[in-house]
Amino acid sequence: MAKNMTGKRQAQGNMIFLVSLAIGVVIAIAVAGLMFNRVLLERTRAQFALDALAISLASKINPGDRVGQVNRLQEASRELVFTSRQAVNACSSQELSGFSRLSNMLLDEARAGHALVENERVNQIAVIRKEVLEAVHGYENKREDNGVMGFMSIQTNHPKVVRVDLGRIKNVDSNIESLDAIPELYEFDRRLGYVDIPSRLFKCDINAKLPVPDDDLAYRFCSLPAYVGKTCSPPRNTNFDAFKSFGRVFFNGVDTHETLDEIPDALQITTSMDVDMADAAKKQSSLATLSTVATGVCSGATSESE
Amino acid sequence: MTIFSGANLPYRRPSGASLVEVTVGSVVLFLVVIILVDLGLLIYGVSLNDAVCRDAARKSASGNPVNAQSRALLLIEQMNSRNSGFVSHFRLVPPVKTEITSQPKLRRNPENDQLVNPGGLVTGSVTVTTEVEITPFALQFVLGRNSPLKFQSKQSFPISYVLPPD
């Protein structure tokens, strides 16, 4: 018995076994390659879908050039307060007491007008936030209805929106040009660095205060691609690192209550896509979670600052 | 001369039997590899067609929607001239579908009572369908088809265009 067990094995059948093993290994490698390719393909498709979503959401920020109009209102209010103050000063220096009451009244109206403009600016931030969130919830509801896509026991879920940030694009100033119609104001703006000298556009992220005693009024121009040479910047995608966030408005399926101080001109969406694998018993197990980010910029101003 | 005492089987050399097994196994392995190469080619072609369709959709959505089809055609032409490998016959399936959801409305100028275009954002989407024909090396014999296999891809992308004012 022991002799039989330790004896010479039959050579016939060895090659069949080795060739079958080789075929099995080749097929296994090919199937693994196909699955990996499938996951990569789905990731590319998800990125494309996310880019499209980012552009369609960004289009909701500045329809009808409302952001540009708020900037123009800010500029007009600023000039009105400045010129009204000049008129009050002129009346007092030239001892025109008959006009001083009228000029003071005009100044008060100009300052009250600034409060209205500021209220509208805050209102536009809320409106933009609401419309973007409605579109995000619309996408999420549609995604849940669409279900999952399956292929060779791999199931790829549609990308889920994890986070939405509103903000602006770095190095983009406002659409408002500082005109030299009021030389004193233009010189003041230049001296305090409110204006980008080569383009003459007001910078964003600053409080363009007027000289004392009107420095209690805040003038915030928001970032928006300017209307240049009859060309308006269309909504587009941009690199994620060019984005500066003002705050999150959506996180893990819930609207956040973070306060935004500025009108945004761009948004950034982060999504995650679960890739599951089903075994023979149709039991799902997570294979990978792929994360994708897309940044969308709204359309620019559609007319020149006046 | 017999090796196995009492057996009436003719003598077979072990090296000869192995040779037969390797030959038969190699043929099967070769067929498996050829089929896998064909499958790979098909998947490569489908992925490439998908990518071309996505690029064409993006390109046609960027700009005036009136010229969406010509932009898509131009891109596909470029891709066909660039991809000189296995798969290079991408075709645009007309028409390029343009769906406009909003666009600036003409306004009447009170000074001269003429309609003027105020300019503004155009929103909507462009849908592009592309097709590619792939002739697999061996699968064609297996499938018994003479014509190449055709694969289509359909992609949509939002329009990004601002109509300039008059």
Q: What's the Cα-to-Cα distance from A267 to each of A136, A239, A242, A244, rounded to whole Å?
A: 12, 11, 11, 9
Residue B68 has pLDDT above 80, yes or no: yes
User: Which ipTM value was assigned to this complex?
Assistant: 0.78
pTM (2 decimals)? 0.83
Q: Quick: pLDDT tens for B73-111.
A: 999 888 888 765 666 688 888 888 899 988 888 888 888
Residue A274 has pLDDT above 60, yes or no: yes
Instruction: Determine whether the interchain pair A12/B17 forms a contact, defined as Cβ–Cβ distance below 8 Å.
Output: yes
Residues A214, A219: Cα–Cα separation, whole Å: 11
| pLDDT in the model for residue B136 | 79
Q: Quick: pLDDT tens for A54-87.
A: 999 999 898 888 899 999 999 999 999 999 999 9
**pLDDT averaged over every residue in chain A:** 85
Residue B6 has pLDDT above 70, yes or no: no
Transcribe A235-287 into DSSP letters: PEEE-GGGEEEEEEEEETTEE------S--SEEEEEEEEEEEEE-TT--EEEE
Find the mean pLDDT for residues A289-294. 88
Among A108-112, B9-13, B126-130, the least confident range: B9-13
Contacts of B17 in chain A (CB under 8 A): 11-12
Of B26, B47, B160, the CB nearest to A55: B160
Q: Which residues of B131-163 are buried (b: 16+ CB within 10 A; e: fewer)?
A: ebebbbeebbeeeeeeeebebebebbbbbbbbb
User: Of the candidates A265, A231, A259, A239, which has an alpha carbon nearest to the alpha carbon of residue A58?
Assistant: A265
Token couple for A228: 């240049």
Instruction: Determine whether the interchain pair B162/A52 forms a contact, defined as Cβ–Cβ distance below 8 Å.
Output: no
Instruction: Determine whether the interchain pair B21/A19 forms a contact, defined as Cβ–Cβ distance below 8 Å.
Output: yes
For residue A234, the distance in angstroms to the closest alpha carbon of chain B comes to 5
Find the mean pLDDT for residues A186-192. 89
Give the model's confidence band at B2: pLDDT under 50 very low, under 70 low, under 90 confident, else very high.
Answer: very low
Q: Quick: pLDDT tens for B27-55.
A: 888 888 888 888 888 888 888 898 999 99
Length of chain A: 306
Token couple for A138: 């619309």
Residue A1 has pLDDT above 50, yes or no: no
| pLDDT in the model for residue A135 | 92
| pLDDT in the model for residue B137 | 76
Of B28, B120, B157, the CB nearest to A64: B120
Instruction: Determine whether the interchain pair B26/A233 forms a contact, defined as Cβ–Cβ distance below 8 Å.
Output: no
In chain B, pLDDT over 70 holds for what percent of residues?
83
User: Of the candidates A75, A31, A13, which has an alpha carbon nearest to the alpha carbon of residue A306?
Assistant: A75
Find the mean pLDDT for residues A159-168. 92
Residues A287, A32: Cα–Cα separation, whole Å: 13
Give the model's confidence band at A18: pLDDT under 50 very low, under 70 low, under 90 confident, else very high.
Answer: confident
For residue A85, the distance in angstroms to the closest alpha carbon of chain B comes to 34
Of A23, A33, A300, the CB nearest to B29: A23
What does residue B53 show for φ and ψ, rounded to 5 degrees?
-65, -40
* Residue numbers of B between 109 and 138 with CB closer than 8 Å to A: 118-121, 123
Instruction: Determine whether the interchain pair B29/A64 forms a contact, defined as Cβ–Cβ distance below 8 Å.
Output: no
**pLDDT averaged over every residue in chain B:** 82
Measured in Å, how far apart are chain B's first and last C-alpha atoms? 106
Residue B145 has pLDDT above 70, yes or no: no
Query: Which of A9, A12, A47, A69 has the highest number of chain B CBs within 10 A, making it the mutation to test binding with B?
Result: A12
Residues A288, A283: Cα–Cα separation, whole Å: 16
Give the model's confidence band at A286: pLDDT under 50 very low, under 70 low, under 90 confident, else very high.
Answer: confident
Of A15, A33, A302, the CB nearest to B22: A15
Q: Quick: pLDDT tens for A209-252.
A: 898 888 899 999 999 988 887 788 899 999 989 999 999 999 98
User: Of the candidates A163, A159, A193, which has an alpha carbon nearest to the alpha carbon of residue A178?
Assistant: A193
| pLDDT in the model for residue A149 | 59
Find the mean pLDDT for residues B134-157. 79
| pLDDT in the model for residue B57 | 93
For residue A63, the distance in angstroms to the closest alpha carbon of chain B comes to 6
| pLDDT in the model for residue B1 | 46
Q: Count how many pairs of residues, chain A against chain B, have C-beta atoms within 8 Å.
A: 107
Instruction: Determine whether the interchain pair A44/B158 forms a contact, defined as Cβ–Cβ distance below 8 Å.
Output: no
| pLDDT in the model for residue A3 | 46
In chain B, pLDDT over 90 holds for what percent of residues?
13
